[in-house]
Homo-oligomer: A and B are copies of this chain.
């Protein structure tokens, strides 16, 4: 299925850089693919640990960088002073809404916003490289508490 295909693509990406396919790298990628959340390094570390796989945090960071570089993961920053990572299975571009009470992250996309961003840049002769857009909210559940 799809997951194994992705793992193989990751192996190819590793080899394409003349790097080595290691058990640690595969564990990390698999763990990332099996989890839809937006997790920080520590959460991935603990999740692997609980499943009996010990991989150092340094290796997790290094492997996530590699995954990001090759399009398998996305690194995001919601202003917490630390990075979160999500897999890119079924990738469609999206931004995030973050509940300031419970931390829940919801994705959103809006084509008008995407277009306007491009217009703002071209009006100034700036070349748009990427953007970072988060809405900080109180989610429906937290409002009723």
Question: What residues make up the interface of A, taking CB atoms closer than 8 Å to B?
Answer: 77-79, 81, 97, 99-100, 106, 108, 110, 112-113, 116-117, 120-121, 124-140, 143
Contact = CB atoms under 8 A, between A and B. Distances in A.
Given A112-B116, A113-B116, A116-B112, A131 B134 contact: yes
Contacts of A77: 77, 79
Contacts of A140: 124-126
10 contacts: A97-B121, A108-B120, A120-B135, A125-B143, A126-B137, A126-B139, A130-B136, A131-B133, A131-B135, A132-B132
Contacts of A135: 117, 120-121, 126, 128, 131
